[in-house]
Amino acid sequence: MNISSIKSASATIALTFALVSPVMPIGENMNHAAAQAAEVDYETLPPDPSEGAQKLAAAKVTMPQAIEMAMKASGGTILSASAAADGDKVTYEVICAVGGVPQRIMVDGMTGAITRIKLSPLDAIVKASAKVDGVVQSVSGDFGANPPAYFVSLFAAGKIHTVVVNATDGTIISDTARGQLPGVDTDVEMVTLPDGLKYIDIVKGTGPMPSGPSAVVEVHYTGYLVDGTKFDSSVDRGSPASFPLANVIKGWTEGVGSMNVGGKRKLIIPYALAYGPAGRQGAIPPKATLIFDVELLKIVSDPATTPAAVPAPAAK
């Protein structure tokens, strides 16, 4: 592809470099900063030092040799180095500063093979544009991921694509597309209610509708922040949720309460109908608009529609 033919919505290329766990897989979540946060394992016992020593001693490349190889390959300054053993395989991770930018170099402890970043941001844009013909919005690098990668965002056919490009060999790791809203993609028209609640009926149900807040419903749902961060999902847990409509946030009471069983709806809930200006510590930021994909599975109970029990006749 001719570089001059690449369309860009911005002249600025934003690069972020994160040094995170070398075993962190590439994710597809749009919130890359959250994806880069490595989890600390507080469950597994640390390895036996003697076992670790034996594995490193069996490597054909030593730590000093790996550092020297990384320095020659990068021409940079060494910031840190560490070794990891997985079965019979030993891998050295060497972090170098190249032109003031941290760069991650992997050295195979058995063969001496070097894996390093070979693509520039412009190379990544060319690769992504060959995959998706669109307007480039941004490119960012996560060189602490495994493998190191660029995330290229492009607008195409009314969607925003995130193309993940392997920074070592230029292969496309993934291409995900979404519309304006995270979750289930739909072209159905959005409905806006006077109080600010918005919804899209992805599938209109044909079953009964809850009579009011006293009804207990069973649903499957997935919740997102506006940046695409998934914060909760009964679907991921594999277990639907049941609750009285009176015991949830106002946006759910109204939005789910007007669904028919069998329906699937996308709810766009302003913070005033969700968790308010303060949000919810640890999960929901302040003043957060929430987006839910909800499927109404059944009405568990509905006192308003349950016939009153007929009293037994008095004994004669």
**Residue 275 known to be catalytic:** yes
Q: Which of 13, 232, 243, 302 is catalytic?
A: 232
Q: Which of 105, 142, 275, 291 is catalytic?
A: 275
**Residue 221 known to be catalytic:** yes
Q: Which of 143, 150, 199, 221 is catalytic?
A: 221
Residue that has been written with the tokens 């957060």 in this structure: 288
Conformation bin of residue 75: beta by default, left when phi > 0, alpha when psi is -120 to 50? left
Q: Which of 92, 224, 271, 292 is catalytic?
A: 292
Buried b (16+ CB within 10 A) or exposed e, 217-231: bbbbbbbbbeebbbe
Q: Which of 13, 78, 172, 231 is catalytic?
A: 231
Parallel/antiparallel/unpaired status of strands 7-8 and 135-142: parallel
**Residue 231 known to be catalytic:** yes
Q: Which of 114, 125, 200, 249 is catalytic?
A: 249
Q: Position 12: which residue type? A: T
**Residue 42 known to be catalytic:** no
Tell me which residues are annotated as active site: 221, 231-232, 249, 275, 292
